[in-house]
């Protein structure tokens, strides 16, 4: 075999490769193309999930009950996601894990706090609009039936659970999937496709519909906007947490069709038209949720302008 000159470029070394090879491998970057990386990541993630569930079944004697609000399952799922993304970044992307947008650079804490606060403001707006329109009946606070000591544990568990969910889903969707799609296509299609997948992922939730999946796809755009104005995942993680935590734990709505019987600080009953309020699925399946998402995108854009002005 003829030796390769050390001055020969990677493009030159890739020339003898066939078309099939170049269809799946980027010869200049010497790694799989974006579609192949996402496919391999998906297979890896599903394989690790299968191992996780198998181990859980063995440890529980074959009587494992997995629910969306099972804290142990949520934490184990985060461990799987972290491992899958780290392995994919190391061996498929050949890029640093933290470059997905997890570096604690200047202003990262402000982005995180703004995202969480924005989620609370948007949910408060939904609550007030539905209450003012007569679509929601307030029935009391959690502390009316239990003392503050009894409130602490379920409140802390819910807080922790939604932090974990926020990190897990943002690392996967706005982190690995969307950014690889952007590298292979462009950011417009990356946001569109990743948001559509995000909506379809929730189609199997209780009380889900095509309308709820469409609305959650718009939530995906809202979260992607947080990444676009900051080029980090801190704002999307904070927003994902705040959106879910205030929606469910604070204001008492179902969260994507689940958690209707979970702990809520505010006790209320939604009685308005489902196409407006979202009914049993929660605001994400109604027009009030869609309106909040649009307002949220505008507020994130303003946050981006403020960051530029103050050089955050």
Q: What is the full per-residue pLDDT of the chain (312 aa) written as tens digits?
A: 444 444 445 454 445 567 777 878 888 878 899 999 999 999 999 999 999 888 877 776 655 554 444 677 888 899 999 999 999 999 999 999 999 999 998 899 999 999 999 999 999 999 999 999 999 999 999 888 888 888 899 999 999 999 999 999 999 999 999 999 999 999 999 999 999 999 999 998 999 999 999 999 999 999 999 999 999 999 999 999 999 999 999 999 999 988 777 889 999 999 889 999 999 999 999 999 999 999 999 999 999 999 888 776
Number of structural domains in the chain: 1
In a domain? residue 199: yes
In a domain? residue 128: yes
| Alpha carbon distance 123, 293 (integer Å) | 10
**pTM here?**
0.89
How many beta carbons lie within 10 A of that of residue 212, not counting itself? 25
Domain residues for the domain of 251 are: 96-309
Q: Which of 161, 189, 203 is nearest to 75 (CA)?
A: 161
In a domain? residue 38: no
In a domain? residue 251: yes
Token code pair at residue 162: 């939604």
C-alpha distances (whole Å) from 277 to each of 137, 140, 195, 251, 283 are 13, 20, 22, 14, 5
In a domain? residue 52: no
In a domain? residue 181: yes
In a domain? residue 28: no
In a domain? residue 177: yes
| Alpha carbon distance 292, 295 (integer Å) | 5
| Alpha carbon distance 300, 230 (integer Å) | 10
Q: Which of 145, 25, 37 is nearest to 84 (CA)?
A: 37
């Amino acid at each position: 075999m003829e030796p390769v000159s050390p001055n020969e470029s990677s493009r030159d070394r890739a020339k003898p490769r066939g078309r099939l090879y170049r269809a799946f491998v980027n010869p200049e970057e010497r790694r799989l193309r974006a579609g192949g990386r996402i496919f391999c990541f998906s297979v890896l993630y599903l394989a690790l999930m299968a191992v996780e569930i198998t181990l859980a079944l063995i440890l529980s004697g074959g009587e494992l009950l997995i629910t969306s609000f099972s804290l142990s399952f949520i934490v184990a799922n985060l461990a799987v996601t972290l491992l899958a993304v780290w392995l994919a970044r190391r061996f498929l992307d050949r890029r640093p894990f933290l470059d997905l947008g997890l570096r604690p650079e200047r202003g990262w804490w402000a982005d995180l706090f703004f995202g969480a606060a924005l989620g609370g403001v948007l949910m408060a707006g939904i609550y007030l609009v539905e209450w003012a329109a007569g679509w929601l009946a307030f029935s009391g606070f959690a502390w009316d039936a239990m003392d503050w000591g009894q409130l602490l544990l379920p409140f802390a568990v819910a807080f922790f659970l939604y932090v974990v969910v926020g990190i897990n889903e943002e690392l996967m969707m706005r982190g690995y999937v969307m950014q690889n799609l952007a590298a292979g296509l462009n950011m417009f299609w990356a946001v569109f496709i990743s948001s559509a997948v995000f909506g379809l992922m929730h189609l199997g939730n209780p009380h889900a519909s095509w309308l709820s999946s469409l609305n959650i796809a718009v939530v995906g755009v809202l979260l992607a906007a947080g990444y676009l104005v900051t080029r980090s995942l801190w704002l999307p993680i904070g927003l994902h947490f705040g959106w879910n935590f205030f929606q469910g734990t604070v204001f008492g709505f179902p969260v994507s069709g689940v958690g209707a019987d979970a702990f809520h600080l505010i006790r209320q009953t939604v009685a308005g038209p489902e196409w407006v309020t979202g009914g049993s699925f929660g605001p994400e399946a109604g027009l009030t949720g869609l309106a909040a998402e649009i307002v949220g995108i505008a507020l994130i854009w303003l946050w981006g302008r403020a960051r530029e002005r103050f050089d955050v």
